[in-house]
Amino acid sequence: MDEKSVRVIRNLVSRSGEVAGPATRKNVPLKAPDSSESCSQCGGSGWKEVGSGKNRAVARCNCFLRDRIDQLLESAGIPERFKHCGFSDYKTTNDSLAAAKIIIEKWVAEYPLDRTGLLLLGPSGLGKTHLSVAALKELTRKGIHCLFCDYRELLKRIQNSYNSSSQTTELELLRPVFETEVVVLDDLGATKPSDWVWDTVTFILNSRYNANQPTVITANFLDGPSAGVEGVHGAARATRDDTLGDRVGERMRSRLFEMCRFILMDGKDYRKRIRSTGTL
């Protein structure tokens, strides 16, 4: 595309009321394509001309959309260890895991028609994080702004923000969690509960719930009331496995029922299979 055509497109965009060039979505600055690698359709402007005559208009060029998706994926904060995870390479070894995969794939395909969150429950090593990251990656391909948060790391960073020498405030740390459309909160309940932990988690999840923002949560505990509610104490409590109620509190457990669809997963720890056989 020649320079004159690029100027025409920019003028059309200007008259339409939208700025030609970088667009900005919450927390994700979206750059225009690199002019050093000019696209033949848009000349590096990020816009292409469509229609003719009275129907002449402009639309986002495919190169811009590809760049946008790449930037959304990069800003999602997926840990290096899980960047490869996708639905296609998730191995289902039983009906429970196969059903979980189908439910999550369907939720992603229909989003945003269904804005109910997801809560993946079950023992460790079943690929809950794998499926959550796979969902996140597919949503970014639909242009959805997503964010991956490790539960323990998030709490640690919030605590560190209370240090007088810290240059970051709690609000600054939590703003992306509050504002991002879809958040994956991985390993909920991994930290031993305390009043501060319960208050912090309640604050985060209530804020997202009230804003109608879906949250995908993983937890290595089975659903069930807390020991206190069940009246389990002493030696019986010491030998009892923690439940979701024990780890997040009954108030938050109740709220999770409102904001999430529970997906129960069961099976053998795939990490142990790898160590024992050398293969998945």
pLDDT tens profile 53-71:
777 777 767 777 778 888 9
CA distances from 7 to 1, 138, 276 (A): 10, 35, 63
Give pLDDT tens digits for 150-207.
999 999 988 888 877 777 788 888 899 999 999 999 999 998 778 888 888 889 999 9
Domain termination site, one of 16, 50, 72: 72
Residue 50, Cβ neighbours under 10 Å: how many? 12
Phi, psi (degrees; rounded to nearest 5) at 28: -130, 95
How confident is the model at residue 271, as a pLDDT? 56
What share of the chain has pLDDT > 70, as a percent?
82
| pLDDT of residue 23 exceeding 60 | no
Do 139 and 268 fall within a single domain? yes
User: Where does residue 45 rank: exposed (0-12), middle (13-18), buried (19+ CB within 10 A)?
Assistant: buried
Do 46 and 113 fall within a single domain? no
Do 119 and 57 fall within a single domain? no
How confident is the model at residue 2, as a pLDDT? 52
* pTM for the whole structure: 0.76
CATH classification at residue 131: 3.40.50.300
Do 255 and 137 fall within a single domain? yes
Do 58 and 150 fall within a single domain? no
Do 174 and 91 fall within a single domain? yes
The residues, ordered by sequence, that sit 6+ positions from 266 with a Cβ below 8 Å of its Cβ are 94, 96, 97, 122, 123, 126
Do 53 and 84 fall within a single domain? no
Burial of 217-249, coded b for 16+ CB within 10 Å and e otherwise, reads bbbbbebbebbeeeebeeeeeeeeebbbbbbbb
Domain termination site, one of 13, 43, 72: 72
Query: Rounded CA gap, 126 and 198, in Å?
Result: 26
Range of the domain at 273: 78-277
Q: Assign residue 224 a region: left if phi > 0, alpha if psi is -120 to 50, beta otherwise?
A: left
Do 104 and 242 fall within a single domain? yes
Do 63 and 87 fall within a single domain? no
| pLDDT of residue 26 exceeding 50 | no
Do 21 and 151 fall within a single domain? no
Confidence of residue 277 (pLDDT cuts 50, 70, 90): very low
Provide the residue count of the chain: 280
Q: How many domains does the chain have?
A: 2
